Amino acid sequence: MTETEATCKREIELEIPAENVQKAVAKVVKDLARVARIPGFRPGKAPATLIQRRFAEDIKGEVVQTLVPEFLEKELTEKKLVPVTQPRVDQVDFQENGPLKVRAVFEVLPEFTLGNYKGLQVEIEDIAIGDEDVDKTLEEMRERAGTLVSIEGRGVQDGDFAMLRVTGTPQGGGEQVQAENVVCHVGAEDTMAAFNENLRGATAGETRRFDATYPADCPDAKLAGKNFSYTVEVQSIKEKRLPELNDEFAREVGAGDDVTTLAALRTKIAERLEAAREERMESQARDKILELLVKQHDFPVPEALVEHQMDVRLEAVVRSMARQGVDPRAVNVDWVALRSRQRDRAVEDVKAELLLDRIAEAEHIDPTDQDVDKEVERLAERSGESAPAVRARLTKQGALDRMKSKLRSDRTIDWLHREASIQKSARRDK
């Protein structure tokens, strides 16, 4: 067996005895002779030598497929090797009257010494919550509860919502863009500069003409990098009226929490912000612990696991886009380059999982049946299925073991967090 320095790649030179090869060849020839149709011979009557010449490549392939897995498994067992990838067989040296020689290439989990992992010291940012955070949340709630009302007797100002009839013609030719009742929040950061600049001062019924250039990374592939000439009619102007910050407002937005006064609403908001603060700080601590663990351990990781984790990270990006209403297929993104940029983080992810697995083994950490039942019930509630149906589906898909592995990792991180020494910095979250 050979191995490449500082990698998890392994190679085994396998030699299967000639006696086994000849027996396998004879069996394949016998099976072929029963079904092969050869001109001049009745089915099953063609000579074995003719069968071997006529179907030489088929026989070779069948013998290799039959013998190699059996002998390779024995070799792996003897050498106590557990591949994390399906062994790739190449350099096949096949001789009917001699041994069968092949090379098997695969990856294994790395061998490494588990360093110190108890009482890790990490520093996290102390996220303070104050009255200004409550005020900010209240303003956001007022914004969401605001209503648009029509404005007359003046032109468009920053902060207004202009209702538009839009016709856009691509410069250089192409399909026109036409739309009515388009809402444009004038002066907003997300609004294109050309619309902000050219709509200020426009009155209801007025038409403005101007050009706009879209950035190359515009989410809409039909607009990305193109120049458009726009004719825009202002149909109406609206501004957002916010409700007064009083007990009535508190009762309306806090009905589900039995809130009846503004003071009670402020208290409820403070409690939620504090709970979110604790959750963020715990998440921050867990990330720091894993980061420190990875930094303290230097070992190679299987390339196949890194490639898989790169795919997982890329899929997460795609799902995030879809949740935001962006069609990933229409986005002008170099997906190959984006995937390759995930490599360093993917290596860290794989290292962290291998370390957590070793720590869980050392500390005898495993999810209980209760943990598994609770997670199955959570998934059932989210999907609208019954818990037994979810468990059956996960088992059929082979996902139940993956779920247990994830729970095991989560419990191990919880254990490390309890054992760690967490120092809080005095910085304030902005």
Is there a single domain that holds both residue 158 and residue 88? no
Among 55, 86, 107, the domain boundary falls at: 107
Instruction: Grade residue 35 by pLDDT with cuts at 50, 70 and 90.
Output: low
Q: Tokens representing 332?
A: 């002008």
Instruction: Grade residue 429 by pLDDT with cuts at 50, 70 and 90.
Output: very low
Is there a single domain that holds both residue 226 and residue 306? no
Instruction: Please report whether residue 138 resides in a domain.
Output: no
Instruction: Please report whether residue 77 resides in a domain.
Output: yes
Is there a single domain that holds both residue 103 and residue 155? no
Instruction: Please report whether residue 135 resides in a domain.
Output: no
Is there a single domain that holds both residue 235 and residue 178? yes
Contact criterion met (CB below 8 Å) for 317 and 338: yes
Mean pLDDT of the chain: 87
Long-range CB contacts for residues 101-106, cutoff 8 Å, separation at least 24: 101/13, 101/14, 101/15, 101/16, 102/14, 102/16, 102/64, 102/68, 103/11, 103/12, 103/13, 103/14, 104/11, 104/12, 104/14, 104/68, 104/72, 105/9, 105/10, 105/11, 106/9, 106/10
C-alpha to C-alpha distance for 359 and 414, rounded to whole angstroms: 12
Beta carbons within 10 angstroms of residue 104's beta carbon:
22
**According to the model, what pLDDT value does residue 42 have?**
65
**According to the model, what pLDDT value does residue 92 have?**
83
Chain centroid, CA 146 distance in Å: 36
Lowest model confidence (mean pLDDT) among 29-33, 152-156, 188-192: 29-33
Is there a single domain that holds both residue 90 and residue 172? no
Among 45, 76, 107, the domain boundary falls at: 107
**According to the model, what pLDDT value does residue 45 have?**
64
pTM: 0.71
Instruction: Please report whether residue 191 resides in a domain.
Output: yes
Instruction: Please report whether residue 383 resides in a domain.
Output: yes
Whether the CA torsion 243, 246, 251, 253 is positive or negative: it is positive
Is there a single domain that holds both residue 98 and residue 175? no
List Cβ neighbours of 257 (8 Å cut-off, separation of 6 or more).
268
CATH code, domain carrying 190 = 3.10.50.40
CATH code, domain carrying 320 = 1.10.3120.10
Is there a single domain that holds both residue 171 and residue 234? yes
pLDDT digits (tens, 9 = 90+) for 335-378: 888 899 999 999 999 999 999 999 999 999 999 989 999 999 99
Instruction: Grade residue 418 by pLDDT with cuts at 50, 70 and 90.
Output: very high
Among 107, 138, 161, the domain boundary falls at: 107
* pLDDT of 322 above 50: yes
Is there a single domain that holds both residue 180 and residue 312? no
Instruction: Please report whether residue 192 resides in a domain.
Output: yes
C-alpha to C-alpha distance for 181 and 357, rounded to whole angstroms: 56
Is there a single domain that holds both residue 283 and residue 420? yes
User: How large a percentage of the chain has pLDDT more than 70?
Assistant: 93
Is there a single domain that holds both residue 396 and residue 336? yes
pLDDT digits (tens, 9 = 90+) for 111-150: 899 999 998 999 998 888 889 999 999 999 999 999 999 9
C-alpha to C-alpha distance for 77 and 366, rounded to whole angstroms: 26
**According to the model, what pLDDT value does residue 40 have?**
67
**According to the model, what pLDDT value does residue 280 have?**
92
**According to the model, what pLDDT value does residue 383 have?**
85
Q: Domain count of the chain?
A: 3
Is there a single domain that holds both residue 189 and residue 92? no
Instruction: Please report whether residue 186 resides in a domain.
Output: yes
Instruction: Please report whether residue 266 resides in a domain.
Output: no
CATH code, domain carrying 21 = 3.30.70.1050
C-alpha to C-alpha distance for 163 and 236, rounded to whole angstroms: 5
**Domain range for 223:** 147-241
Is there a single domain that holds both residue 158 and residue 60? no
